[in-house]
Amino acid sequence: MSKEKLSPAWVRNLRRLMDEQGLNPRRLSLLAGLNATAVRDMIEGRSRFPRYDTVQALAKALGTTPSLLMSGEETSNDIASKGADFGQHLDLLTEIIARLQETAGDLDCTLSPREFAAMTATIYRRLQEKAGDTSYKSQLNAIKPQIYDLLEYEALRHKRGKA
């Protein structure tokens, strides 16, 4: 089996997009504002799970979305067939999940899978309620305050339960 077939879908997507745009790993790394060897390390398997902000930078440099870059063929086909709105919803959910994980980690807050899912759904629902009034970029900017609000509430709820 070829090394290409063993690579994760996102690495295959990355290679394909680089080939289509005539970019080498160093050039893409620099275009994305990353360390000059970052893309090479990803392609060679030394960096298997990039941080979300890295994926965002790569997607922007390649003219795609984080969802399309990181997805397998089936998800890419779903996004293509269901249209831009579906892809944007997927990107928003991905962003919420990534930021919630990062913030909970930064605050040393452990969430059960159920709490994590509930918070993700709550943030997504709140942002969607305001979606008609705001741009996608405004929705992204509103994620962090929503996360802090919910984590603070969860901390108080746990504190009360122990008292």
pLDDT given at position 31:
95
pLDDT given at position 163:
55
Low-confidence residues of the chain: pLDDT under 70: 1-5, 84, 132-134, 161-163
Phi then psi dihedrals of residue 15, to 5 deg: -60, -45
- B/e letters for 23-43, b = 16+ CB within 10 Å, e = fewer, are bebeebbebbebeeebbbbbb
- What is the DSSP-derived secondary structure letter of residue 36? T
pLDDT given at position 95:
83
pLDDT given at position 34:
95
